[in-house]
Amino acid sequence: MLDSIKEVLITQEALQERVAELGKQISADYKGEEVVLVCVLKGAVMFFADLARSIEGDVTLDFISCSSYGNSTQSSGVVRIMKDLDKPVEGKHVIVVEDIVDTGNTLHYLLENLKSRNAKSVRLVALLNKPDRRTVEVHVDYQGFVVPDYFVVGYGLDYAEQYRNLPYIGILKEEVYQSK
Ligand code: 5GP
Ligand code: MG
Ligand code: MG
């Protein structure tokens, strides 16, 4: 295990198992429908790639990127779209794939934004849900795991762009970000 990781919260095996379950559930719920899977860059990228491969059916992929965090561990509360979807989602079933719902700011903004484009439906799948820190209500349609109020990294989630490549979800040692 890496020196800067205090504890492994979710192992690689547990991630794989849960992602496969979510894929099955989504495949069943959208049977016979076309779905646009939207990856919220960059945090969701590992989850997105695994989830997409576990969904059976008619799926297209698109990518969006918003800013809210910068390099710190605190949300700025202001959300901006840095890279928009390539294709319009009007009349489509959209599933937004996100790494973690924390304060809810990003998803609240993003879901409203996508709904305003007249999608047929918009749902959210979040790998992690950290309900303790919620300031804006967000309906999570599918969730991987509920996590306690720790700053977690790995499997796509970063601290200052690092640790995204860890194959597990780990709790970052406080001294790593307190010393900065
Ligand atoms: P929210 O807008 O819900 O506060 O969170 C927005 C984004 O902040 C998440 O999509 C994620 O990229 C980042 N974030 C929130 N909590 C954590 C965390 O515990 N670890 C990491 N690495 N990122 C987080
Ligand atoms: Mg994110
Ligand atoms: Mg980040």
Ligand nearest to the CA of 138: 1
ipTM of the complex: 0.96
Q: Which of 100, 103, 111, 146 to probe ligand 1 with, by most ligand atoms within 8 A of CB?
A: 100
Which residues are near ligand 3, the ion (C-beta closer than 5 Å)? 69, 158
* 116-151 confidence digits (pLDDT tens): 999 999 999 999 999 999 999 999 999 999 999 999
Q: What is the 3-state secondary structure (H, E, C) of 141-157?
A: CEEEEECCCCCEEECCE
Identify the CA nearest to 69 among candidates 166, 167, 151, 175: 151
Architecture of domain 17-149: 3-Layer(aba) Sandwich (3.40)
For the record, the structure tokens of 20 come out as 């496969």
Q: Residue 49: its pLDDT value, please?
A: 98
Q: pLDDT category, 64, cuts 50, 70, 90? A: very high
Supply the pTM of this predicted model: 0.94
Between β-strands 142-146 and 152-153, what pairing exists: parallel, antiparallel or unpaired? Answer: unpaired
Residue 74 has pLDDT above 90, yes or no: no
Q: pLDDT category, 69, cuts 50, 70, 90? A: low
* Residue nearest atom 8 in ligand 1 by C-alpha distance: 69
CA 41 to ligand 2 centroid distance, Å: 6
Average pLDDT along the chain: 94
Assess whether 62 carries a catalytic annotation.
Answer: no
Query: Residue 114: CB partners within 8 Å, gap ≥ 6?
Result: 38, 89, 94, 96, 122
Q: Which of 40, 65, 102 to probe ligand 1 with, by most ligand atoms within 8 A of CB?
A: 102
* 19-52 confidence digits (pLDDT tens): 999 999 999 999 999 999 999 999 999 999 999 9
